[in-house]
Structures are given as structure tokens and as C-alpha cells.
Amino acid sequence: MLIFKSNIHDRQEKGFTRQSSIPDIEYDELFNPFHLLAVSLGEENGVLGFLERQSPEYWSEDSKRFYPQAHKIGSLPIFRSLRCILEDGLKDRAVWYSMNTYHFCFLYDVLVRFAFNYNHDNTKERLNLLPEIKGKPLQIESFFKDYFFNTVFLMDEDKYNSLTREEKLEQGYDCPCQFGVINALAPTKKEMELKSSRSYPYSIYV
């Protein structure tokens, strides 16, 4: 199970604090964050397959178009590995896994593109993908606010590097590997792995 800022498996859990504003009460009640992640990562397998079938000379340019943020940290083989690692972690119900900035950056691009395509589909196609929200538009920005710890990977390299360690911590920028992502360093094999957690990652209020 992947660890996000809030528990994607139990949105009614005590301690859940909404950061977004969703005026559509029905959408909010029906939305299933786990299913969104499962479907989007599943769909991404097809996207990567399509890109890999193109001539390698186009891979670099395709990566920039399909992965506006993540393209700077690697190539299609890295994205393929990250997708598989995230999907395996999502489906593993026995262990909680922490992600780092490489995972969040890649996942951000996947979700933004999935949401764009979903919101431009007709109602029938929407219902095929996420039937639980009854064809309503996907509010992906709300998902990022509620479930991503931060989006530091969107920050300009010069601006990030000008911050002191204290300033980064004050703004909540404490996710592992954020320096590598922002400074366009490809992840090592170890950095692509998820970190298992032995304890329950969320606060429980009685």
C-alpha cells in the first residue's frame, strides 16, 4: 500500500483533513482515490507501450510531451520501471510503502495526463474508466492537495537551490530525493525502490 498525505484506502478515517474545496458533495462522496491510481497506472502501461513502439530517435521528444515534469529525470525504461514499482506497491495490501520525489513527480505527470484525457472523453468512456463518479469531471487538483505531501518538483531549479535547509523545511519540502529530481539527476536503482514501513503511517484520533 502506498503512503500518501491522507489514507487512500479510508477517506472517512479519523484525522483526515481536507485541503481542497470540492463544491460537488456527490462527487466527493463517490470519489475513490485508490481506484483512480489503479486505473491511471494501468492505462499508463498502454501509453508506455505505444511510446516504446516508436522509433528510438523520437523517444526524447515524446518524453517531453508525455512527461512534462519527469522527462528531465530519465528515459522510457526508467518510466517503465517506476510504473511497475508503483503499481506493485499500490496492490500490495500487506505492507505500507513510502515514496520519494521521483515517484511523486512521475505519478503527477501520469495523473495530469489521465485527468485531461478523461475530462475530454464522452460520458460512456468516462463511465468505463471511473464508473463510481458517474461521469462527473475528474477534479485532479483537489486530489493533489489532499493526497500529495507537496509538489516541490514543480519548483524552478534556481529558486529551489537558493533556499536554505531551514527554508525548505518551513515550506514542507522534506521529501527524499527532491534535490535529485529538481536538478535533473536520473534515479539510481535504489532510489527507484519503495521504502517499506513497519508502522501504521496515519494518525489515529480516539
pLDDT of residue 12: 63
pLDDT of residue 23: 73
* Cβ pair 197, 96 in contact under 8 A: yes
15-72: per-residue pLDDT in tens? 556 667 777 788 988 999 999 999 999 999 999 999 999 998 998 899 999 999 999 9
Low-confidence ranges of the chain (pLDDT < 70): 11-19, 204-206
* Domain regions of the chain by residue span: 25-149+186-197
Whole-structure pTM over 0.85, yes or no?
yes
Strand pairing partners for 96?
A: 197
Q: What is the DSSP string of the chain?
A: -B--SS-TT-TTSTT----S----HHHHHH--HHHHHHHHHHHHHHHHHHHHTS-GGGHHHHHHHH-TTGGGG--HHHHHHHHHHHHHHHH-SS-EEE--HHHHHHHHHHHHHHHHHHHTS-HHHHHHH-GGGTTPPP-HHHHHHHH-S--GGGS-HHHHHHS-HHHHHHTT---TTHHHHHTTPPPPHHHHSPEEESS--S----
pLDDT of residue 14: 53
User: What span, in angstroms and rounded, lies between the C-alpha atoms of 173 and 177?
Assistant: 11
pLDDT of residue 53: 94
pLDDT of residue 13: 59
